[in-house]
Amino acid sequence: MNTGASNFVEGVDWVFKLLFGISAFFLIVITAMMIFFVIRYNRKRHPKAVQIKDNMALEITWITIPVIIVLFLFYYGFSAFQPMIWVPKDAMKVKVIGKMWQWSFEYPGNKVADTLVLPLNRPVKLDLVSVDVIHGFSIPAFRVKEDVVPGKNNYMWFTPQQTGNFEIFCTAYCGVRHSYMGTKVRVVTPRQYDQWLASVKVASEEPGGLQVLKKNACTGCHSLDGSKLVSASFKGLYGKTETVVTNGTERKVKVDDEYITTSIYEPDKDLVSGYSKGIMKSYKGIVKEDEAKMIIEYLKTLK
């Protein structure tokens, strides 16, 4: 059986080593020849340069050898790539949604999670969709990477072969918070996977306000549990007294419906003290008024 964190590690690493080996070989040969020529054909030793023209043997050699090398690399490169596009029929499906600036993972039965959890040794097909700009989905430990393009249905598949946590990165620069698009894939035993899946809430069972927050990736910057992400947590926000800067003057406001509505539509108007403008964009035209109300109702419950 293959070793490595996924079934593609061996094939990809072999092609990489081959390419690296060939490059290293030529680096050494070319450098050695250069040094040799500099000494051998130095002007003191070889005062008069000779023009070499129409040397058939030489021309055939420098055409044939590179062509053979390139075909050889193509063969190995293609044979490592080909299995990546042929998805096994029994592969389990997970939908990966990329948005600025968060990944979410939709499992069958409308269950949504923000880390990717997968069972060991079971082929999985990831359908890659983007709701805004081009993102890139990459799991370096698995040697897989694919663009996530709005309006296009890209996919990838692999079989995880080791339990543990592996990094997921966005590899297409997608805006100011691009670097926050990191998350993890957690590979567990099939039993742990079943237990985990049973514990994931079905999206439609969650409070409406929470669905709105997740849909708009607010939770990428504001946590729900008191931990600090890019900005303050939503926990305990409603009703507290906040220090904000309005038109350059600091003032104290009570967090109520109106303040939250202003924060969503004109985030730079009442700027929370200590933050600079422009980190949070305005959600005018994105979060509808009734959705803003749902958010407010939900924030009230986060004591």
Contact positions vs Cu ion (CB under 5 A): 135, 170, 174, 181
Name which of Cu ion, ligand HEC, none residue 127 binds, using a CB cut-off of 5 to 8 Å depending on partner kind: none
Name which of Cu ion, ligand HEC, none residue 18 binds, using a CB cut-off of 5 to 8 Å depending on partner kind: none
Q: Closer to ligand HEC by CB, 114 or 127: give it.
A: 114
Compute the least distance from the CB of residue 210 to ligand HEC, in Å.
Answer: 11
Compute the least distance from the CB of residue 211 to Cu ion, in Å.
Answer: 22
Name which of ligand HEC, Cu ion, none residue 216 binds, using a CB cut-off of 5 to 8 Å depending on partner kind: ligand HEC
Residues in contact with ligand HEC by the rule CB under 6 A: 177, 216-218, 220-222, 230-232, 237, 242, 255, 260, 263-264, 267-268, 271-272, 275, 279-280, 283, 287, 295
Q: Is 261 left (phi over 0), alpha (psi -120 to 50) or beta?
A: alpha
Q: Which amino acid is at 245?
A: V
- Check if the beta carbon of residue 243 is closer than 8 Å to that of residue 233: no
Alpha helices in the chain (DSSP H): 9-40, 56-85, 190-199, 208-215, 257-265, 289-300
Q: Closer to Cu ion by CB, 135 or 215: give it.
A: 135
Compute the least distance from the CB of residue 132 to Cu ion, in Å.
Answer: 9
The alpha carbon of 149 is separated from its chain's Cα centroid by a whole number of angstroms, namely 12
Q: Are strands 116-119 and 124-130 parallel, antiparallel or unpaired?
A: unpaired
Name which of ligand HEC, Cu ion, none residue 135 binds, using a CB cut-off of 5 to 8 Å depending on partner kind: Cu ion
Q: Residue 74 and residue 40: Cα distance in Å, rounded?
A: 37
CB-count burial class (<10 Å; 0-12, 13-18, 19+) for 7:
buried
Q: Is 117 helix (H, G, I), strand (E, B) or coil?
A: strand
Compute the least distance from the CB of residue 302 to ligand HEC, in Å.
Answer: 11
Q: What phi and psi, each to the nearest 5 degrees, are found at residue 36?
A: -60, -45
Q: Closer to ligand HEC by CB, 130 or 263: give it.
A: 263
Name which of Cu ion, ligand HEC, none residue 272 binds, using a CB cut-off of 5 to 8 Å depending on partner kind: ligand HEC
Q: Residue 14 and residue 257: Cα distance in Å, rounded?
A: 59
Compute the least distance from the CB of residue 255 to ligand HEC, in Å.
Answer: 6
Q: Closer to ligand HEC by CB, 108 or 274: give it.
A: 274
Q: Closer to ligand HEC by CB, 18 or 272: give it.
A: 272
Q: Closer to Cu ion by CB, 119 or 220: give it.
A: 220
Peptide bond into 103 cis (omega under 30): no
Q: Are strands 124-130 and 92-99 parallel, antiparallel or unpaired?
A: parallel
